[in-house]
Structure formats: structure tokens, C-alpha cells
Structure 1
Amino acid sequence: MTLPAAGDEPATATIGAATFLSTTGQGVPGTDEFYAAKAKLGAAAGQLGHSGPIEILYWFEPEHGDVGIADFYWTVPLEHLRWRMLVHVPDDITLPAELAAALTDAGLFLFPYKEGKVVQVMHHGPFAGEDETMKRLGAYADAHGLRRRGPHHEIHLDTFDRTTPQDHFRTILRDPVT
């Protein structure tokens, strides 16, 4: 599998359709619930014979207003954050009925997704340092007259758990735009 890529400077790209194994949740990333969902998703993807980076879509419900790219994590309290964790699977995957039922019972689903036009950039380092990278991404979008039109997307290229040192993490920060 080829890993997704992004440059160190913000840029636009067009992302085609893909199919993912996914699970959803709500609240602050990094909680026990969050890491349990991540472990469950990774184990199920491994059982399907697929592995890849964990990708996460983040969004707030409409009642929280239009949250911009640069200030996405700092406008609305994170307990209102919704998320969908994803692992890419081949588009043509067909699951036997009993496996599909077992995944559904475990809260895992196949999820087709197409982002289209996006702005994206590679973030290097700890998650806590994403604010500066998000500001650069938001400034790029603003300079090009682009507005976020869907969930914020993070692609975590490095395997991690709660105890993994984050100094050398690579995370693609991506937002669909119009």
C-alpha cells in the first residue's frame, strides 16, 4: 500500500473516492474510549488482511456554527467533537455475510468516502503542536478564497498509542474546501 502524501507547505489537491473500515465516537481525542476504538479498528483491519495509517475525520454538529480551518480545535469545547476513525481497504472488498455481521455488531462499518478538492499540509511532531500548522493551512485557504466544507481529516502516518513519544510523528492535516 502506498501511503498518502502531503508537502511541508500547504497546497491544494484532489482526493478521489475510497472505501474505509470505520467506527465513530464523540468527545476529546486521547480518552480511553478513543484509544479503545482505535485498537478495535486496527485489530479488525488486520483480520481483513489490511493495514495502513489510521485516519480520523473530525467535525462539530451544525448547531456549533461554521468553524474555520485555522481555529478548528480552539473554537468549540472538544467534548462536542465528533469523530470517525478510518482504515483504508480495497474498494472492491466483499465481506462474507457472517464477517459483515460481526463487524457491525462490533460497531465497525465499511464507509465509502470522496473528499474532492482539499487543502492539506504535513505536520511534524506532537499533536499538541498542530495549532501552528493549522494556522498556516487556514491562512493558505483564506489567501486562495477557499472555505472548509466538510470534516477536518487527519492521516496519522506513524503507529501510535497513548505512550508513544510524539516528537517524530508525521500527520497529514487536510480539509475539504470549496
Structure 2
Amino acid sequence: MNSMLSAEPQYFSAADEPETTTIGAANYLSLTGDGPPGADTFYAKKASLTHAATLLDAAGPVEILYWYGPEHGEIDIAGFYSTAPLNALLYRMLIRVPADVANAGVPDEVRTATGAHGPDLGFFSMTEGKVVQVMHHGPFAGEHETLSRLGAFADAQSLRRSGPHHEIHLDPFGPGSPQKHLRTILRDPIA
């Protein structure tokens, strides 16, 4: 995990106060899902993704893109987790990988070793471009307050979210893990 963090220091950092920055292209090992974060299915997918990344010698922080279907309309940054029901969330779990790993494809033995979610493993690439971001400290339940600050910052500059909400979990977490010391980058692409 430390090698990816040290290789991409700008990507894996954010200030405690909202800021804008530009994020370039990146490659990821990926699994998609739907439903609320913290559900059993969510943690099973997270475990499969982490195991697969370890087998590919590409372990790094778990990242998650979240979005809602078009039936929920445009949702602003501040209201992301409070405007639509959490069971309507769609997500893509990610772990950054070097380009050579992504270009090689997911080996069959990695798919088999990661069990039920192995067939769904794949590689995903994206360029976020201009984003607003902030570091959230502590429990996930407190993200509402941090997103409110991030949303107010974006609104003051007439910026709106233009893609999936992105969370980068710098610290490992699981069901029942203490969350007091967690660090999570909250990042939203903007237009």
C-alpha cells in the first residue's frame, strides 16, 4: 500500500479545508455494486477486490465512486447522502494499479481465487480532471458535515458536481472497525 501512496502523493492527499485541484488519468482494478455502504454485500465485494489486488501485487487504498440513477435527478455535493435513499446508490470499488498490470488483464487464477465476485473483476480507467476535495477525519456518519463544507465551497465558486462522488479510504476499514481515526478524501469532479 505504501508504494502506491508514495508513487502518487498528490492523488492520495487533500487539505483539511476544501480546495480545487486537477487529477490526471489512472488505472484501477474494479468491482461494481449497488445498495448502501456497510451492507454485507458491500463488505464481501470489498474483501474480494482487496484480495485480488494483493494477488496482483497491486494493493493500495480502497476507493469508491458513488452515484445515483437518473431517476433521482441531479444531486448536489452537500446533499449527496441525504437527497436520495442510500439503497439506491450505485458504486464502483477501485484499487489503483500500474498501467502494465491493467494492460495484462485479470488472470483466470485471480478470478478463481477471489470467489463469487471473481468473474466481475475488471480494469477501469478514468481521468477526473478538475475536482473539489477535502480530507474527512473520523466516522463515516460525520461525512454529511464535511460534504456540506465542500458543497458550500463549490457553490461559492458556481461549481457543480459533474460525475460520481469519489471517496479514497486511506485507512483500512471493515464491519465493526473503529472509525475515530479514519482519513477519507472526499472528491467530486466539477464543471
TM-score with structure 2 setting the length = 0.89
Please list the CA deviations of residues 84-130 of structure 1 after superposition, one character each: whole Å capped at 9, or x if unmatched. Answer: 00000002323267438937853110001110000000000000000
Call closer, same or farther: CA 1:113–1:97 in 2, change over 3 Å.
Answer: closer
Partner of 1:10: 18
Q: Could you tell me how far apart the structure 2 residues matched to 1:101 and 1:51 are?
A: 14
**Equivalent of 2:148 in 135, 138, 154:** 135
Q: Percentage identity across aligned positions?
A: 58
Q: What amino acid is the match of 2:111?
A: A
Q: Describe the shift of the 1:97–1:163 C-alpha distance in structure 2 as closer, same or farther (beyond 3 A).
A: closer
Residue of structure 1 in register with 2:167 after alignment? 154
Distance 1:50 1:140, change over 3 A: same
- Using the TM superposition, give the Cα deviation of residue 37 of structure 1 relative to its aligned residue in structure 2, in angstroms: 0.1
For the aligned residue pairs, the C-alpha RMSD in angstroms reads: 1.7
Q: Contact 2:55–2:110 (CA<8 Å) still a contact in 1?
A: no
- Normalised to the residue count of structure 1, the TM-score between the two structures is 0.95
Structure 2, unmatched stretches of 5+, are none
Aligned residues: 178
Q: CA deviation at 1:163?
A: 1.7
1:83 to 87, 91, 94: 91
C-alpha distance after superposition, 1:18-60 (max 9, x if no partner): 0000000001110000000000000000000011100000000
Looking at structure 2, the residues matched to 102 and 166 of structure 1 have their Cα atoms a distance apart, in angstroms, of 31
Q: Partners in 2 of 1:63 and 1:27 — Cα distance?
A: 15
Question: How far did residue 164 of structure 1 move?
Answer: 1.1
| 1:61 pairs with 2:60 | no
User: CA 1:16 to 1:136, structure 2 compared with 1: closer, same or farther past 3 Å?
Assistant: same
User: How far apart are 1:63 and its partner, in Å?
Assistant: 1.3
User: SS in structure 2 opposite 1:115?
Assistant: strand
- Report the Cα distance in structure 1 between the residues aligned to 2:176 and 2:123, rounded to whole angstroms: 29
